[in-house]
Chain A
């Protein structure tokens, strides 16, 4: 059963520019680490994060295994306070997560 990806977002508007900080809770297994028994831990990483604002994609991140555990991303776009945007995420096992955020 697919589990939901947890996403935390903070967005603040200043002079028409929204600065958003995004933190996704994810193990980001690269497929190269070994557990205590010497077995490879299977690859499991975040693949894509998409941010939509007013029907338009303002940010679309493709992640490989070279992104740190619990990925943190900051980005900026033009927007106004009080508006909402959505964040969708999908990982290599097909788990998804989404969250709606209000711009402060």
Chain B
């Protein structure tokens, strides 16, 4: 009897602790997911919705690595590196996708501009990486050929 009473109190304590933890969790402060940019159907509109009128320059300091030929459009590994200082965000656009903006990766001041992600591509298209740094957009692009189904068609 004693034992079960003890067990009861231990469990009760655990439950109460858990509840207190859940209640005390601060509301997660999510930045606003950019609905407009993610649902834009052409490249220019997507870039505009994302970054407004910031000037875009082609930059050699943005290093975009993507396969020249991707057999499976559902999984295309892409790497972006940049030697630019103070990188705020990196966005990846696929020009001919139904919605060109695939992802935006926002970085903090202790982060390095060195990311890797797998994206989806509907068909052969240009992949564009835009790096936001110092109030400017730095762009690099690469053509990726997609052979859907991976049968060499």
Contact B104 A62 (CB under 8 A): yes
B side interface size, CB within 8 A: 35
Residue ID in chain A nearest B114 by CB atoms: A76
Residues from 57 to 104 in A contacting B, C-beta threshold 8 Å: 57-69, 71-79, 88, 90, 96
Q: B51 at interface (Cβ–Cβ under 8 A)?
A: no
Q: Give the residues in chain A near B33, CB-CB below 8 Å.
A: 47-48, 62
CB <8 Å contact, B107 and A58? yes
6 pairs across A/B with beta carbons < 8 Å? A65-B98, A66-B94, A67-B117, A69-B74, A76-B112, A76-B114
Q: Which residues of B contact A47 (CB under 8 A)?
A: 33
B28 is an interface residue with CB less than 8 A from chain A: yes
Q: With A30-B120, A48-B31, A62-B33 in contact, do A77 and B103 touch (Cβ < 8 Å)? A: no
* Pairwise interchain contact A59-B105, C-beta atoms closer than 8 A: yes
Query: Which A residues fall within an 8 A CB radius of B?
Result: 17, 28, 30, 32, 47-48, 50, 53, 56-69, 71-79, 88, 90, 96
Known: A32-B98, A72-B117, A75-B107. 6 other contacts (CB 8 A): A48-B30, A58-B108, A66-B100, A67-B119, A73-B117, A74-B115
Q: Chain B residues with Cβ under 8 A from A96's Cβ?
A: 28
A-contact bits for B67-89, CB 8 A (1 contact / 0 none): 00000001110000000000000
- Say yes or no for B7: interface residue by CB 8 A criterion: no
Which chain B residues have a beta carbon within 8 Å of chain A's beta carbons?
A: 28, 30-31, 33-34, 38, 74-76, 92, 94, 97-112, 114-121
Question: CB within 8 A of A76: which of B75, B94, B98, B111?
Answer: B111
B111 pairs with A50, CB closer than 8 A: no
Selected contact of B99 from candidates A17, A56, A64, CB within 8 Å: A64
The CA of A88 and the CA of B33, in the complex, are separated in Å by 15
Q: Which residues of the other chain, B, contact A77 by a CB distance below 8 angstroms?
A: 108, 110-112
Residue from the list A57, A61, A71, A90 in contact with B118, Cβ < 8 A: A71
Complex-state Cα separation, A50 to B31, whole angstroms: 10
Asked whether A17 and B112 contact (CB < 8 A) given A47-B33, A62-B103, the answer is: yes
**Shortest Cβ gap from A62 to chain B (Å):** 4
The 6 closest A-B pairs by CB, nearest first: A66-B102, A74-B116, A60-B106, A68-B118, A64-B38, A76-B112
